[in-house]
């Protein structure tokens, strides 16, 4: 992504409450807020325009992050229709300040955003299906730029559910390949802005440590990854069949080791230097 200047306006001074966001040299604008300020979010002039929106929260049955991506010619009316759904607690919508978005534009954006959310695999996507729309070439290019700007702003507004776990490593430390070994098992990964990504093709131990009975997080996370299809059981190990991002090197190492592990010493570069030693340089 290109460098950008972001202007965020906190209407009440609180970053968790109603806020707007804009990028320099872009006609789009975002409005975000919690469900508890639903009336204020939809009372704004922007809510009466054509745009796309996101509803995010936690699924009460699975405890997993959940997202709904929608489009509307009148955002206020459409978003109000979702009050019967109780999973969401945050709403973000995007409009064009020059009123150039049409129904076809937002249908095209909705389709691409749903596809991105499904590919990212960070949340349950509650949309039944993606609408999408065909656009003339020039319009399609304009909307592809709009799409990238939306993805640039969403994490700043607290929604990282469309960011692929295998995002390309960019910083010096992120580009460093790291290895986590235990006995004959090896996992490969790299640091990320949110923690550490374990790469597809890595392995984890099959048997868990007895300590997971007292400290069950590694067991629970391994079971969750199995249910999601990210970890597959082999005769002598567990196999990562897709990239998986963890919140820290220790969280990743605990899943790989089958119990508590210190990620700063468990992850090493190809010369055998630990992550702790690397970061101390």
The mean pLDDT values, 10 residues at a time, for the chain of 281 residues are 88 94 95 95 96 92 88 96 92 95 95 91 82 86 95 93 68 82 95 90 95 91 92 96 92 96 95 93 74
Q: Computed from CA positions of residues 15, 19, 22, 28, in that sequence, does the dihedral angle turn out positive or negative?
A: positive
| pLDDT (0 to 100) of residue 169 | 56
Distance in angstroms (rounded) separating the CA atoms of residues 219 and 217: 5
pLDDT in the model for residue 209? 93
pLDDT at 170: 61
- The model's pLDDT over 194-252, given as tens digits with 9 standing for 90+, comes to 889 999 999 999 999 998 889 999 999 999 999 989 999 999 999 999 999 998 999 99
Write down the pLDDT at residue 165. 64
- Bridging pattern class, strands 65-72 and 124-125: parallel
Please give the pLDDT value at position 61: 76
Q: What is the rounded (10 degree) CA torsion for 236, 242, 247, 253?
A: 20
pLDDT at 167: 52
Burial call 107-124: b when 16+ CB within 10 Å, e when fewer: bbbbbbbbebbeebbbbb
For residue 272, the model assigns a pLDDT of 95
pLDDT for residue 175: 81
Helix 103-120 vs helix 137-153: crossing angle, to nearest 10: 50
pLDDT of the residue at 4: 87
> How is the chain split into domains, by residue range?
6-157, 178-280
């Amino acid at each position: 992504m290109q460098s950008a200047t972001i202007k965020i306006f906190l209407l009440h001074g609180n970053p968790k409450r109603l806020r707007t966001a804009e990028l320099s040299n872009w006609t789009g604008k975002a409005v975000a807020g919690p469900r508890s300020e639903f009336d204020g979010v939809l009372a704004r002039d922007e809510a009466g325009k054509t745009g796309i929106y996101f509803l995010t929260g936690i699924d009460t049955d699975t405890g997993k992050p959940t997202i709904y991506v929608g489009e509307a010619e009148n955002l206020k009316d459409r978003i109000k229709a979702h009050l019967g759904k109780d999973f969401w607690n945050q709403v973000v919508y995007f409009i064009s300040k020059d009123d150039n978005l049409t129904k076809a534009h937002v249908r095209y954006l909705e389709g691409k955003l749903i596809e991105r959310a499904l590919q990212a695999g960070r949340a349950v996507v509650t949309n039944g299906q993606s609408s999408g729309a065909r656009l003339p070439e020039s319009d399609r290019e304009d909307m592809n730029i709009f799409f990238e700007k939306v993805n640039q702003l969403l994490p700043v507004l607290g929604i990282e559910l469309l960011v692929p776990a295998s995002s390309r490593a960019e910083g010096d430390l992120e580009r460093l390949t790291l290895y986590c070994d235990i006995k004959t098992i090896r996992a490969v990964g790299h640091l990320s802005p949110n923690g550490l990504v374990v790469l597809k093709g890595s392995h984890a131990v099959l048997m868990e440590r007895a300590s997971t009975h007292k400290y069950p997080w590694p067991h629970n996370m391994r079971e969750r990854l199995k249910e999601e299809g990210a970890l597959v059981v082999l005769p002598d190990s567990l196999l990562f069949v897709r990239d998986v991002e963890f919140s820290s090197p220790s969280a990743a190492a605990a899943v790989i080791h089958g119990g508590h592990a210190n990620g700063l010493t468990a992850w090493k570069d190809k010369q055998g230097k630990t992550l702790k030693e690397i970061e101390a340089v």
